[in-house]
Amino acid sequence: MSRYDRQIKLTEVGPEGQKRLRNAKVLIVGVGGLGSPAAMYLTGAGIGKIGLMDHDKVDMSNLHRQVLFQESDVGRSKATVAKERLENQNSEVEFEVYQEPLTIENAENIIKQYDVVLDGTDNFETKYLINDACILADKPWVFASIYKNEGQLSVFNYENGPTYRCVFPKSTRENISCEATGVLGVLPGILGTLQAAEVLKINLGTGEVLSGKLKLINMMQASEQTININKHSEEVEKIRKNGIAPVYIDCDLKNKEQWYLDVREVFEQPKPKGKKVLSIPMGDLTLRYQEIPNNQEVFVFCQSGKRSKNAIEILKNEFGFHNLKNVEGGIETIIDG
């Protein structure tokens, strides 16, 4: 008996539909709360190739919602662990692991190799990046996002339909993650599973795809609403003409006379502007330490204050810097406004 027998029995699938799934390629960007259940159901359904993209490592605080991971996985690469786990679930599926973030440089090239993108990300920058790259590569993407007990879901850029920018034209600095707000594990479970369902319908070419509509789900109130959205062709044309629009959410720092060193990765947001703000990611410090002034006070920051503390240790012990001060609470404490 075929492993897919129970879905092939459906008239919407049938042997022909199963073949379509077998030939489908799906890229999952972010293998976390949304990406975990989505990846498991798509693997179960027999999608031909699944790309698993995540530059993050498994943390104990992920386990209540990121159902792909076990205690013994803590500290390991999410994308790699996901591949191992999913290969055990279905050895017929081909997996490609990307232990790197989606960037302006790699987005279009990677997305071109797939039929659909499933957005499992937790930040606005990557959502706009997926959106723009999908416009350029002419691929649909299945969006979901969560805030506390609420979720949003839609399929963008599907058969020339509306895109994320048609709903939210501009990015915002209010980048509030599940880490910051809290979330019950079931909510990304529900949204991620609905995303997988949209991916299956797109690949099967059957059913009503959630394009031109934004579904709003409130788990606590057990309520749902669907909003109709229209395409704003000018938003799409702008991207087609000018390429991916970087969503560098810039900000000012309180003290413009002060030297700062930002040791976060280049894709981390928001990006402070100013002549006295140096950006050198942790990994590049030993190569670029000479760019850092050593004759006046420099404040070192990252997102939370932890990495910058380590950076100062390295710069002090290995390169003799004695003029560095840590920004304890991270970037949010030094932003102006």
Tell me which residues touch another protein (CB under 8 A).
30, 32-35, 119-124, 127, 144-148, 150-152, 167-168, 170-178, 181, 183, 188, 214, 216, 218, 221, 225-230
Least separation in angstroms between CB 191 and another protein: 8
The smaller minimum CB distance to another protein, of residues 106 and 218, is found at: 218
- In this structure, the chain runs to a length of 337
| Shortest Å distance, C-beta 114 to another protein | 19
Q: Cβ of residue 61: shortest distance to another protein, in angstroms? A: 14
Q: How far apart are the first and last CA of the chain?
A: 63
Triad 11, 28, 49: Cα angle to 5°: 60
Radius of gyration of the CA atoms of the chain, in A:
22
Which CB sits closer to another protein, 237 or 332?
A: 332
Closer of 17 and 188 to another protein (Cβ): 188
- Residue 70 CB partners (closer than 8 Å, separation 6+): 63
Q: Strands of 271-272's sheet, edge to edge?
A: 271-272, 250-253, 335-336
Least gap, CB of 176 to another protein (angstroms): 6
Letter for the amino acid at 327? Answer: V
Least gap, CB of 124 to another protein (angstroms): 5
Q: Report the residue number, 278 or 335, with the smaller CB distance to another protein.
A: 335
Cα dihedral 33, 212, 222, 183, rounded to 10, equals 20
AA identity, residue 42: L
Q: Is 79 helix (H, G, I), strand (E, B) or coil?
A: helix
